[in-house]
Structure 1
């Protein structure tokens, strides 16, 4: 699933992303595209146990792939 957050003012991109993530199942991924690097979102993702990879695109926007970790990995 891809969520294009470009053109939105904060905190809309983060709120849209967190809403979409709440619907993700374990092992599924969400790809978001933001105008800027979502520093506050990263803190939330860490707290909620998601993994993510960030890539700066040629147009200056950021593409972040977020995956829900499998809770069974903890033992």
Structure 2
């Protein structure tokens, strides 16, 4: 049985642009292949999705009841 590690959490809800994007990309630079990054944002990060695609990441977004957008990011499987 494989144990899933808890994702690294980056709460960027109170940051002004471009800080959420900058901090997310910095966190991804250090993300191991087996790790996941959960980013909490105040709105849908459309520019981030394109950057993730270009840099070999997959993601899943989910909007919470309070309006927070949770984006779970991981490396693409080869």
Give the TM-score normalised by the residue count of structure 1: 0.90
Residues 27, 69 of structure 1: 8 Å contact kept: no
Residue equivalent to 1:24: 31
Residue equivalent to 1:6: 13
The CA RMSD over aligned residues, in Å, is 0.8
TM alignment of 1:34-73, pairs within 5 A? 34-70=41-77, 73=78
Over 6 Å off, 4+ runs: none
Higher share in helix:
1
Unaligned runs of 5+ in 2: 1-7
Give the TM-score normalised by the residue count of structure 2: 0.87
